[in-house]
Structure 1
Amino acid sequence: MSLLTTLARLEAVRSGRAEPLATVRHRHLSERPMVVVPLAAVGEDGAPLAVLLGTEREAPKLFIVPQPLNRTQRFEFLAAFAAELLPYLESFTAEVEQVEGSEKDPETGEKIPVLRDLCADAPQLLVPNHGAVRHLALLGRSTRFRRTAEDPDPGPYPAPTQVPLLGRWLTHLTDRAQVPGSSLLLPMTGLLARHWATGQSHLEDQHLAAQLAWHFPADGLTGAEAAERAETGRDEHGRLLHPPAGPVTDPRFDAQVLAPAITRHDAALAAFRQAGPDGTDRAGLHLKQAAERLHAALEAELLPTWRDVWQGLDLLRTLPPATHLPERWEGDRWSYTGHRDRLAAGEPPQPRRDDAVTAARKLAQREREQARLDIQEALDDPLVMAEHRLSGEAFSGTVLAVEPGYDTSGRSPKPRPLLTVATPDRPHADPGREVHRAGGPSAQKAEIVRAVPGEVTVRVLSGMGRRKEPEPGSVPEVGERVVFTLFELSARQSAPLPEPDDTPWTHGGPPGADPRSPIGTEEWE
């Protein structure tokens, strides 16, 4: 936790309300997001119990598993879930735009220009918290390899046709959620915690209702008191007023409501199956009533969290979008387009375990995206830049003097002006250290010449054009506000990795070379 975040949490405790950590919104918000509130059976995070989802606040759709231990009912639930979610995920595949790119010629090895399709937009799923992301990842892992009746060897329990496709989409979305700055799948608690600080711990922030209580405390209550009431408040039956529902359930709800409702439904289903011709109508009525009571109980458990997610979405929309958001969203669109193309090409599902090269590439990508996210957030948001200033990684101030200077070591002199900046910051600025100007010409570098308390002198090294005199506007003027960072303003590219077929034997050998290899062909089964 940074110093500024710690100070903001302390201020939230003092003021009794959430305090801002950002002045802009650092994550993309779709105009038509899909809100998904999953619920898991107690003791089994990967066993689905219910899901409430939809793109309209007033029209959620609920799908339940009346008996989580029943394989057939579980597949029926997943098929209904897929029938609702897949059309939304696939609705963005048709509209594309042409983007210029390049690729290597297989014969000459030279780069040739090509036009690639990029989906004009991409879906976005919003879930209550990180536990819901893990639950969706488990659902994806358990369903993407399922055999269906259309397969040559469907097995004894074939799944509905759409279930493996649902698993592949959930796996892609949850994998992409691990990439810093991605917005295809977002937990609402993480979104709020990125932009506001509450006076409670990170673990307590995983309860969405308690986190929102710091933003909207009831009259006469502090944020801490409102959060405690939201987290522990119970009705006359002892059940939570704001169940977490993402994806865990309240134990008292399980004991007092859910378990009896499931038992009644199981009994009604058994009676319906055993009923003779004369009792079918009556048994069918009892089964319908039991199903409706179970449906109503689960809906009541999920609706508070459903409303909380939409309330958090309204709160986030009050912040203006950050400047670099479109660039990061374009990366999500490329990820979505790539998965669309893999499905269309008939490629097999994602393996259970990545081979060495794929795992290394994922790690390198996430490290690169984290570095890029840190840089872009600092450039977009003065509050984020303030964290770097407090840690000595940047300094901001006013230009006191500009002295012309030149480098005459080459054929022609090059401009090297000296800037004296008055700053209250204390950067870790040893003489000769390279610094980078934020908000100036692209990739403008400088070096520290002298640093004393309240004043730093730098020599500008680049970003001034190729002429003897600096281009107009490339050098700050006296009285201008400037910001310099001690870190680079662009993420470095990682070293190239070998192709999977060239993986050395020390890392498992070429995929499929050894049938016993953990990255062999059996991983696609």
Structure 2
Amino acid sequence: MSSLTALARALAVRHEAAQPITTVRHTHVAQRPLVFIPLTLAGEANAPLAALAGDDPDRPRLLIVPQPRNRDQRFQFAAELGRLVVSYVDGFARHQEDVKGRRRFTDAPQLLVPNPGGVEFVRLFGRSTRLRRTYGEYAVKPVVPLLGKWLTFFAERAEHPGSALMLAMTSTLTQHWATGQSAVEDANLAAVLAWLDPQDDRSPFEAALDAEDPDIWPPAGPATDPAFDAGSLAPAIERYAKTDADSVARRAARERLESVLRGQLEPTWRLMWRAVSLLRTLPPGASVLERWADDRDAYTNFATYVQEPGSLPQARRDSAVAAAKRLNRLERAQAQYDAQRALDDPLVMAEFRLAGEAFAGEVVAAEADRLDATGPRRKLRPHVTVRTSDPLRLTVGAELRSPARRTQTARILTVSEVDGGLDVRLELTGGMGRALTPAPGSVPEFGERVTYSTVSAGFQPGGNFPAVEDTPWTHGGPPPPPEPTEEDAVEAWS
């Protein structure tokens, strides 16, 4: 937890209201996201029990597994879920645009789950379905492994910093607001919204107490409440199991089970759409569209791949080289995401100011037309002096950038103490046009409030890695070519 977030939590308690920790929204919110709320059976690893899903707040679709330990029913659930998810993701693969000589879909799907547990369910369920056979013993419907590929794709993108293809709602909300409760309580979607969007003029403390009552706000999954399991779920499942020979009784038992499960899921369904509306009240940051374009690239590439005949599912485990490349991509994406958030948002930049890696102040002197004549030809090199009261740990010669002028580089020339702070003299390069006179607005003017930092969202080259066939013996040597086997689909929970 950062210092400013800790302060915001304290202020939330004092003022009995959630405090914003960003000024803009740092993630994309789709016009038509797919909300997915899964439930699993207690005591069974990743055994699906039910799910409420859909892209229309008024038309959720309930999927259930009447007997979660029944393998056939579980894969029937997977087939029904697969038809829903695949139909949704295919709906975005219609309209394309040209981008630098290549084609890209103009939009992409977005999967929303209540919490990180939902992300983990998607990852494990994708792993247990993408490697299934559509022929031979225990064959599944073709849509099941296709669902597994897409769920794995979404789960992998959820790990990618800044990606919005799959979001856990509790994490997304608490990245933008600070509540007056603990991080553990922030994992409860109802408790988070009790602070962010309290209803009926109640205090967040009162509303958060209701969030702890599973009879008012059932858990958002994938785990269920033990009291619900014992008092309602187990009798409903047992009743269904005893109606094997009576179709009328079975239908009635299924309807009863659906009613019980719907009662657990619908409150979370309402919370999810309230959260979506709340996020939409924030204006998007300047870099959000750029990151969503990267998501659309990823979606386009994967949608094209899965449509190719004979396309293989994602490997059960990455090879040494693939794992190293993936880790390198994630590290570079994290650094770029952190930089973009800071450049987009003064509240995020404030953390860098506290650390002495950035400063803000007022321009007290400006030589906008200064020319450097020391070389073979004259160059435009304006000088500006910024007076700041921020703690500064940057030294002479450090290269900085301003969120207001991202294509311009500033180099520290001198730092001198004055009453009430420091005067930092900077030399500016770039972002002023090609002439020896700067373009209007390209140089900070006297009295302007500016911010400079070491933060840069520029391109970072990837690491150098050997080809897969050159994997060193210390990492297992070259892996065999990918050839799916019957053992690939065997999981402890399946």
- Deviation, 1:390, is 2.1
Pick from 303, 313, 324 the counterpart of residue 276 of structure 2: 313
Instruction: Provide the residue aligned with 1:265 in structure 2.
Output: 240
> Is the alpha carbon distance of 1:485 and 1:34 closer, same or farther for their aligned partners in structure 2, counting shifts above 3 Å?
same
| Equivalence map 1:122-271=2 (5 Å) | 122-149=108-135, 154-155=136-137, 157-218=138-199, 221-231=202-212, 233=213, 240-269=215-244
Instruction: Provide the residue aligned with 2:402 in structure 1.
Output: 437
Looking at structure 2, the residues matched to 220 and 123 of structure 1 have their Cα atoms a distance apart, in angstroms, of 36
> Is the alpha carbon distance of 1:85 and 1:468 closer, same or farther for their aligned partners in structure 2, counting shifts above 3 Å?
closer
Q: Does 1:361 align with 2:342?
A: no
Looking at structure 2, the residues matched to 89 and 520 of structure 1 have their Cα atoms a distance apart, in angstroms, of 27
| Equivalence map 1:39-438=2 (5 Å) | 39-100=39-100, 115-149=101-135, 154-155=136-137, 157-218=138-199, 221-231=202-212, 233=213, 240-269=215-244, 272=245, 283-345=246-308, 346-403=310-367, 407-438=372-403
> Is the alpha carbon distance of 1:35 and 1:50 closer, same or farther for their aligned partners in structure 2, counting shifts above 3 Å?
same
Looking at structure 1, the residues matched to 11 and 219 of structure 2 have their Cα atoms a distance apart, in angstroms, of 26
Instruction: Provide the residue aligned with 1:457 in structure 2.
Output: 424
> Matched residue of 1:444: which SS?
strand
Instruction: Provide the residue aligned with 2:452 in structure 1.
Output: 484
> Matched residue of 1:167: which SS?
helix
Question: Please, which runs of 5 or more residues in structure 2 have no aligned partner?
Answer: 490-494
Looking at structure 2, the residues matched to 386 and 266 of structure 1 have their Cα atoms a distance apart, in angstroms, of 59
- Deviation, 1:56, is 0.9
- Deviation, 1:408, is 4.5
> Is the alpha carbon distance of 1:119 and 1:422 closer, same or farther for their aligned partners in structure 2, counting shifts above 3 Å?
same
Deviations 1:158-183 (A, max 9, x none): 11221111001000000011001101
Instruction: Provide the residue aligned with 1:277 in structure 2.
Output: none
- What letter is aligned with 1:308? L
Instruction: Provide the residue aligned with 1:26 in structure 2.
Output: 26
- What letter is aligned with 2:451? V
> Is the alpha carbon distance of 1:75 and 1:307 closer, same or farther for their aligned partners in structure 2, counting shifts above 3 Å?
same
- What letter is aligned with 1:364? N
Deviations 1:194-213 (A, max 9, x none): 11100112221111001100
> Is the alpha carbon distance of 1:524 and 1:414 closer, same or farther for their aligned partners in structure 2, counting shifts above 3 Å?
farther
- What letter is aligned with 1:456? D
- What letter is aligned with 2:475? H
- Deviation, 1:405, is 5.2
| Equivalence map 1:499-518=2 (5 Å) | 499-512=467-480
Looking at structure 1, the residues matched to 256 and 200 of structure 2 have their Cα atoms a distance apart, in angstroms, of 35
Deviations 1:326-375 (A, max 9, x none): 11001101111111121122321000111122112211111111111112
- Deviation, 1:465, is 4.8
> Matched residue of 1:322: which SS?
coil
Deviations 1:456-483 (A, max 9, x none): 3233141145555545543222112211
- Deviation, 1:218, is 4.8
- What letter is aligned with 1:369? A
> Matched residue of 2:198: which SS?
coil
Looking at structure 2, the residues matched to 219 and 296 of structure 1 have their Cα atoms a distance apart, in angstroms, of 27
Looking at structure 1, the residues matched to 460 and 50 of structure 2 have their Cα atoms a distance apart, in angstroms, of 44
- Deviation, 1:445, is 2.8
- What letter is aligned with 2:352? H
Deviations 1:270-318 (A, max 9, x none): xx1xxxxxxxxxx211111111100100000111111100111111111
Looking at structure 2, the residues matched to 176 and 487 of structure 1 have their Cα atoms a distance apart, in angstroms, of 25
- What letter is aligned with 2:338? D
Between 125-134 and 414-423, report the one with greater CA deviation.
Answer: 414-423
Looking at structure 1, the residues matched to 392 and 31 of structure 2 have their Cα atoms a distance apart, in angstroms, of 41
- Deviation, 1:492, is 2.1
Q: How does the TM-score come out when normalised to structure 1? A: 0.87
Looking at structure 2, the residues matched to 458 and 489 of structure 1 have their Cα atoms a distance apart, in angstroms, of 23
Looking at structure 1, the residues matched to 397 and 84 of structure 2 have their Cα atoms a distance apart, in angstroms, of 60
Kept in 2: contact 1:441–1:474 (CA 8 A): no
- Deviation, 1:505, is 2.8
Question: Please, which runs of 5 or more residues in structure 1 have no aligned partner?
Answer: 101-114, 234-238, 273-282, 514-518
- What letter is aligned with 1:368? R
Instruction: Provide the residue aligned with 1:7 in structure 2.
Output: 7
Kept in 2: contact 1:144–1:168 (CA 8 A): yes
Looking at structure 1, the residues matched to 306 and 247 of structure 2 have their Cα atoms a distance apart, in angstroms, of 41
- Deviation, 1:34, is 0.7
Instruction: Provide the residue aligned with 1:278 in structure 2.
Output: none
> Matched residue of 1:89: which SS?
helix
Aligned residue pair count: 483
Looking at structure 2, the residues matched to 80 and 63 of structure 1 have their Cα atoms a distance apart, in angstroms, of 7
Say which one has the larger Rg.
1
Looking at structure 2, the residues matched to 458 and 521 of structure 1 have their Cα atoms a distance apart, in angstroms, of 63
Looking at structure 2, the residues matched to 117 and 313 of structure 1 have their Cα atoms a distance apart, in angstroms, of 30
Instruction: Provide the residue aligned with 1:447 in structure 2.
Output: 412
- Deviation, 1:45, is 4.3
- What letter is aligned with 1:241? I
Looking at structure 1, the residues matched to 260 and 211 of structure 2 have their Cα atoms a distance apart, in angstroms, of 20
- What letter is aligned with 1:434? E
Between 414-423 and 400-409, report the one with greater CA deviation.
Answer: 400-409
Looking at structure 1, the residues matched to 76 and 201 of structure 2 have their Cα atoms a distance apart, in angstroms, of 48
> Matched residue of 2:286: which SS?
coil
Deviations 1:383-405 (A, max 9, x none): 11222222222111111012465
Kept in 2: contact 1:67–1:73 (CA 8 A): yes
> Is the alpha carbon distance of 1:183 and 1:23 closer, same or farther for their aligned partners in structure 2, counting shifts above 3 Å?
same
Deviations 1:11-49 (A, max 9, x none): 111111111111111111111111111001102341100
Q: How does the TM-score come out when normalised to structure 2? A: 0.93
Between 138-147 and 436-445, report the one with greater CA deviation.
Answer: 436-445
> Is the alpha carbon distance of 1:16 and 1:312 closer, same or farther for their aligned partners in structure 2, counting shifts above 3 Å?
same
- What letter is aligned with 1:247? P
Kept in 2: contact 1:49–1:68 (CA 8 A): yes
Instruction: Provide the residue aligned with 1:280 in structure 2.
Output: none
